[in-house]
Chain A
Amino acid sequence: MRKYYPLTAAQKLHHNWILRYKTQQVSGVSVVASLKSALDFGLLKKCIQLEFERYGCMRVRFTKPDENGEVKQYIAEKETRDIPIKDLSGMSLAQADDLMQKWAYETFDKDNIPLCDVTMVKLPEGYNGFFIHMDHRLIDSSGLVVMINDLMQLYTHYRFKSAYPQDMADFEAVLVKDLQKAGNEKRFAKDKKFWEDRLDALGEPLYSDIQGPSVLEEARKRHGNPKLRAADIELENLFVQVKDYYLEPEPTRNLIDFCMNHQISMTNLLLLSIRTYLSKVNNGQEDITIQNFISRRSTHDEWTSGGSRTIMFPCRTVISPETEFLAAAYEIQNVQNRIYMHSNYDPALIEEEMRKRYHTPEHTTYESCYLTYQPMPVKMDNPHLVNIAQHSKWFANGAATKKMYLTVSHTEHGGMNFSYHYQTAQLEEHDMELLYYYMMRILFKGIAEPDMSIGDIMEQV
């Protein structure tokens, strides 16, 4: 008999965005993975169909909301759909990317339908592969990378007789374990206390915008409340642009070395650079909150079960300008370590608590910046493919729920990619240029002189 399960906190995050912004587009995730090689598309199709069997999250569907608006999930036993093939080889690579970008804007709009489309593609310049378009409630980017690797291991097994890939963890079993964890009352009480203690200690957060204090000032005027500490969320025009910046391998190495020598994680170093920029452009504001995404994949089962395991928590720090750069990094790390310990909590409850305590107006927020740090590049990690050129690309879903969302990832050649997704209703490319420029200036000034104070760094960069 089919079993129905509630949504996990990570799934609810995307589900609530769909409800708030009234479009499933905000929950789309798409990627193309291809090789500069002639592929046996008949075999590839067989492997994709096999992947649907192996990777249970690809078969997840959602029920129609009940009378209370509650949605449940279930796992369809089989996916019998054909896997289409599209020939884009007559175009330029840029034109093909543009077309796939349009596919990424498509939405899954009904209940009880498959939320995962895979299309095989013949691309220009001899590249061949597949385009995957899914709902983020089913999978996150790490889960997609694992899926792509597994799929290509299946392909090389049948094509070149390489070893059959190891079994993936059962999605349903991991889901059940996650829901059990979330239902553990003792753990819940501890997590709740942690998050409420933070608010008791620090009080209401204060919004800080990439564009400076004028944004909060305007929100204060609009709401007729000169003491308002939150700013409005853009709900109408969700269009998003993406601006990527590439940091070369040598400076990337310097950042990694600094992290290793001082036992600081890259996430915390990045958080420090963003918060220092926000402080700089907001008249030295000391109380800064950034939403940081955490991918809850630690055990082997969590890594190979797929699913949406990415969840965001507010990283709030109050750092005075006299604090030295390295001390500030440790302060962030200390906060983040405690957050990790309580990351089973549903972040929607933190927001709910703040609204209750501070009467925060509907559709306002305390954060303008969101960060995801992805240590893993999108690369088909397979010895049979090691000498074959690859073309992989993530496609934005075109509808941002966040004013500025930065994804930092490592490239296969040792550099780092800084991908800024920004709402065009309020931001321009120039804002991203400034943000990247200052982030780099702050980072490299800080790692060169870690005992320099944050105030001096803000002045000097």
Chain B
Amino acid sequence: MTKEMQFKEIVAQYCNVEPEEMENEMRFREDLGFSSLDFMSFLGELEDTFDVELEEEEALKVLTIADALQLLERLTV
């Protein structure tokens, strides 16, 4: 499984959108219905799954799936 698909499968656990239907412009809160707590829990799940450390300031700037994927890409290089 690609990193992107693994990422989208995690996102899918938090919302009612299937990984295949996710678009990069989708916003976590407005389009996928994440609450603040959902989003923060999700970031914790990303840290555990991909063994990365997210800086709080940076993490709070993530708005869309594309933002999160880019951040993940930078951290896992």
Residues of A bordering B, CB below 8 Å: 181, 184, 187, 190, 263, 265, 294-296, 298-301, 333, 336-338, 340-341, 343-344
Contact = CB atoms under 8 A, between A and B. Distances in A.
B41 A296 contact: yes
A299 B60 CA distance: 20
Interface in B1-60: 13-14, 29, 35-44, 47-48, 53, 56, 59-60
A184 B36 contact: no
Contact of A294 (B13, B37, B44, B47): B37
B35 A301 contact: no
Contact of B35 (A181, A187, A265, A338): A265
A298 B38 contact: yes
B interface, how many residues as a size bin?
Answer: 10 to 19
Contacts of A338: 56
A337 B47 contact: no
A296 B13 contact: no
B28 to A, nearest CB: 12
Nearest to A341: B40
Nearest to A300: B13
A339 to B, nearest CB: 8
Contacts of A265: 35-36
Contacts of B44: 181, 187, 341, 344
Given A298-B14, A338-B56, A343 B48 contact: no
Contact of B37 (A181, A298, A300, A301): A298
A298 B60 CA distance: 18
B47 A187 contact: yes
Contacts of B40: 337, 340-341, 343
Pick from B14, B42, B53, B59 the residue with the most CB of A within 10 Å: B14
A430 to B, nearest CB: 35
Contacts of B29: 263
B76 to A, nearest CB: 16
Contact of A340 (B36, B47, B48): B36
19 contacts: A181-B48, A187-B44, A187-B48, A263-B29, A265-B35, A265-B36, A295-B37, A298-B14, A298-B41, A299-B41, A300-B13, A333-B36, A337-B36, A337-B40, A338-B56, A340-B36, A340-B40, A341-B40, A344-B44
